[in-house]
């Protein structure tokens, strides 16, 4: 085995991949939430549709989007590998366990939280991402240029109260995943320092609330305003 494969097969190498892909997904979420804020603009979706076209055609964004796909896939694959390794490290469990006295719930349930996020991702990509790429979307024209009207699809989807509830609940799970994951990734990278760790933890707690709340506000806003 070469040193590279040996390292990636070690527990620390596996965790390194989890942390790097997780952090990249956090970067992605930041961009995603910022762009989608255009949904709050009262312009019938013009700014949002122009943005959506840019995101699916710009070559630089293409590179980033492929990195995102790779990150999601690697993050999920390694979460399965790690979960199996961790499970097999304790074949017989305890009859009585007071884990809640020594650790936070989210940190002990990253796999369950991640699985729910994954189910959400599949539904989410099917409803919007796949539609934008291959769907038969209505076309709108702004300033003589044609745009796929993704906004109308989004608008239609969030007339459905069950869609809205599903999205809000999924964002709650994302919040819990990030409430542990954000700071955890830095610890995995070895970035634990008196000067920086308190700030990392504080930013993590801020981020894990603000970003999911903004995401959850979008379906709610559309449902209640249209």
Partner 1 sequence: MKLTLKIWRQKNSSDKGGFATYPVDHVSKDMSFLEMLDVLNEELTEKGEDPVHFDHDCREGICGMCSLYINGKPHGPLQTTTCQLHMRSFNDGETITIEPWRAKAFPVVKDLVVDREAFDRIIQAGGYVNVNTGGVPDANEIPVAKTIADLAMDAAQCIGCGACVAACKNASAMLFTSAKVSQLALLPQGQVERKTRAEKMVAQMDAEGFGACTNTGACEAECPKGISITNIARMNREYFSAVMSSDNV
Sign of the C-alpha dihedral computed for residues 213, 214, 216 and 221 taken in this order: positive
From the list 33-41, 42-50, 72-80, 191-199, the region that binds ligand HEM by CB under 6 A is 72-80
Look at residue 14 and give the partner it binds from ligand HEM, partner 1, none, a contact being a CB closer than 5 to 8 Å depending on partner kind.
Answer: partner 1
One of 171, 175, 188, 222 touching ligand HEM (CB under 6 A): 188
CB atoms under 10 Å from CB of 64, counted, come to 14
For ligand HEM, which is the closer residue by CB, 21 or 155? 21
Contact 188, 15 (CB under 8 A): yes
How far apart, in whole angstroms, are the C-alpha atoms of residue 177 and residue 25?
12
Look at residue 127 and give the partner it binds from ligand HEM, partner 1, none, a contact being a CB closer than 5 to 8 Å depending on partner kind.
Answer: none
One of 42, 57, 101, 141 touching partner 1 (CB under 8 A): 101
Look at residue 30 and give the partner it binds from ligand HEM, partner 1, none, a contact being a CB closer than 5 to 8 Å depending on partner kind.
Answer: none
From the list 51-59, 140-148, 179-187, 204-212, the region that binds partner 1 by CB under 8 A is 179-187
For residue 30, the minimal CB distance to partner 1 (Å) is: 22
Residue 46 CA to its chain's centroid (Å): 25
How far apart, in whole angstroms, are the C-alpha atoms of residue 69 and residue 67?
6
Q: What angle do CA 7, 63, 31 make, to 5 degrees?
A: 95
Contact 72, 29 (CB under 8 A): no
Contact 168, 220 (CB under 8 A): yes
The residue with tokens 């992605």 is 28
Is residue 71 part of the contact set for ligand HEM (CB under 6 A)? no
CB atoms under 10 Å from CB of 209, counted, come to 13
From the list 93-101, 124-132, 145-153, 207-215, the region that binds partner 1 by CB under 8 A is 93-101
Look at residue 91 and give the partner it binds from ligand HEM, partner 1, none, a contact being a CB closer than 5 to 8 Å depending on partner kind.
Answer: partner 1
For residue 143, the minimal CB distance to ligand HEM (Å) is: 35
- The size of the chain, in residues, is 226
Q: Which residues bind partner 1 (CB under 8 A)?
A: 2-3, 7, 10-16, 82, 85-86, 88-99, 101-104, 107-108, 110, 180, 183-184, 187-192
């Amino acid at each position: 085995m070469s040193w590279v494969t040996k390292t990636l097969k070690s527990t620390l190498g596996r965790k390194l991949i989890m942390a790097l892909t997780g952090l990249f997904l956090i970067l992605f979420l930041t961009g995603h939430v910022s762009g989608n804020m255009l949904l709050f603009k009262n312009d019938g979706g013009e700014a949002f549709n122009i943005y959506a076209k840019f995101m699916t055609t710009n070559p630089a964004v293409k590179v980033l989007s492929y990195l995102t796909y790779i990150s999601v896939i690697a993050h999920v694959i390694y979460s399965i590998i790690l979960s199996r390794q961790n499970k097999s490290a304790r074949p017989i469990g305890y009859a009585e366990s007071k884990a809640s006295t020594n650790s936070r719930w989210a940190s002990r349930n990253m796999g369950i939280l991640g699985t729910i996020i994954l189910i959400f991702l599949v539904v989410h990509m099917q409803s919007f991402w796949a539609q934008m790429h291959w769907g038969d979307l209505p076309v709108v024209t702004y300033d003589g240029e044609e745009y796929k009207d993704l906004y109308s699809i989004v608008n239609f989807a969030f007339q459905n109260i069950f869609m809205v509830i599903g999205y809000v609940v999924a964002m709650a799970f994302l919040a819990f995943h990030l409430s542990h994951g954000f700071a955890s990734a830095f610890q995995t990278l070895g970035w634990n320092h008196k000067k920086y760790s308190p700030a990392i933890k504080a930013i993590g707690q801020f981020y894990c609330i603000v970003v999911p709340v903004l995401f959850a506000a979008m379906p709610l806003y559309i449902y209640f305003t249209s």
